[in-house]
Amino acid sequence: MHAIIAKTQLSPNVTRLDVCAPRIAEIRQAGQFVIVRRGEGAERIPLTIADSDPVAGTIALVIQAVGKSTRELVALEPGQAIQDIAGPLGHPTEVIRQGHALCIGGGVGTAVAHPIAQALSRGGVQVTSIIGGRSKEWVIFETELRQLGAVVVCTDDGSYGRKGFVTQAAAELLAAGGIGIVYAVGPVPMMRAVAALTRPAGVRTIVSLNPLMVDGTGMCGGCRVNVGGKVFFACVDGPEFDGHAVDFDLLADRQTTYREFEQTANSCGADGCRVGLNHR
């Protein structure tokens, strides 16, 4: 059992749980994730490790409550526990050792971008982050990212930071020159737009993919993605890939595979069926 040490509401439907997992906290690296199971019979949910404290033996899980299982997970309070946390899983982020990196986070993807920016900064790389949300209340991890480098905040309605999408701010920074690599994490349309923006400029772009995932070991095949015309499993080959080679059309299509099942799960009562699949 993994005790919940702290709980923080980051935005209207995004919650941070700091959970006791000392072995994972000690060895996890940027870009890696865990598979979480709230209790017996619950779904297996993949979640990125947004941060860790090896001394305290805790890891930070950032959860967007979009389905039945994630809502049940964020309903837990400090003092309660998560039954199973398996990890760290996936390949660590390929971190450059010099130069200027641009980290782009959209919505809850900002929590995934944070450990990447953290690893880059610790390695001596200059980091600029662009983060976005629908409005001010949806912007997360701004304080943490400002400790690592410059931050540009974008909101759709202009209620905070600059009005517009993260890609607009990214276009300006890229035009100014000096950016050696881009790391982008967020909704599929956002990552696709970032890749389209950097491709003509020849700036290497790494995206963190979030296909539906079940076991996290490559056995189920549910998280397969097409990159450069080849099939990969995001859980064991990723989750990060060359954004210029990802088939975003196929990725977006596969994200809707279990939509009907999730709708059914949402309509079930507290003791009802568990058929929807959630992902980070």
- Given a cut of 70, whether residue 277 has pLDDT beyond it is no
DSSP the chain: -EEEEEEEEEETTEEEEEEE-HHHHHH--TT-EEEEE-STTPPEEEEEEEEEETTTTEEEEEEE--SHHHHHHHT--BTBEESEEEEEESPPP---SSSEEEEEEETTHHHHHHHHHHHHHHTT-EEEEEEEESSGGG--SHHHHHTTSEEEEEETTSSSSEES-HHHHHHHHHHH----EEEEES-HHHHHHHHHHHTTTT-EEEEE-----SSSSSSS-TTEEEETTEEEEHHHH-SEEETTTB-HHHHHHHTTTTHHHHHHHHHS-TTS--------
Please give the average per-residue pLDDT across 131-158, as a whole number: 95
Please give the average per-residue pLDDT across 240-262, as a whole number: 78
The full set of domains in the chain, from first to last, is 2-89 (2.40.30.10), 100-254 (3.40.50.80)
Mean pLDDT, rounded, of the chain: 88
Q: Is the peptide bond before 88 cis (omega within 30 degrees of 0)?
A: yes
146-169 pLDDT tens trace: 999 999 999 999 999 999 999 999
pLDDT of residue 276: 40
Cα–Cα distance, 251 to 224 (Å, whole number): 9
pLDDT confidence bin for 223, thresholds 50/70/90: confident
pLDDT of residue 68: 85
21-62 pLDDT tens trace: 999 999 999 999 999 998 888 888 899 999 999 999 999 999
Percent of the chain at pLDDT above 70?
Answer: 91
- Given a cut of 50, whether residue 231 has pLDDT beyond it is yes
pLDDT confidence bin for 268, thresholds 50/70/90: low
Contact indicator for 145, 169 with CB cutoff of 8 Å? no
Cα–Cα distance, 103 to 167 (Å, whole number): 12
Cα–Cα distance, 79 to 174 (Å, whole number): 46
Task: Name the pTM for this structure.
Answer: 0.87
At 272, list the tokens: 């009802």
Please give the average per-residue pLDDT across 120-134, as a whole number: 95
58-76 pLDDT tens trace: 999 999 988 888 899 999 9
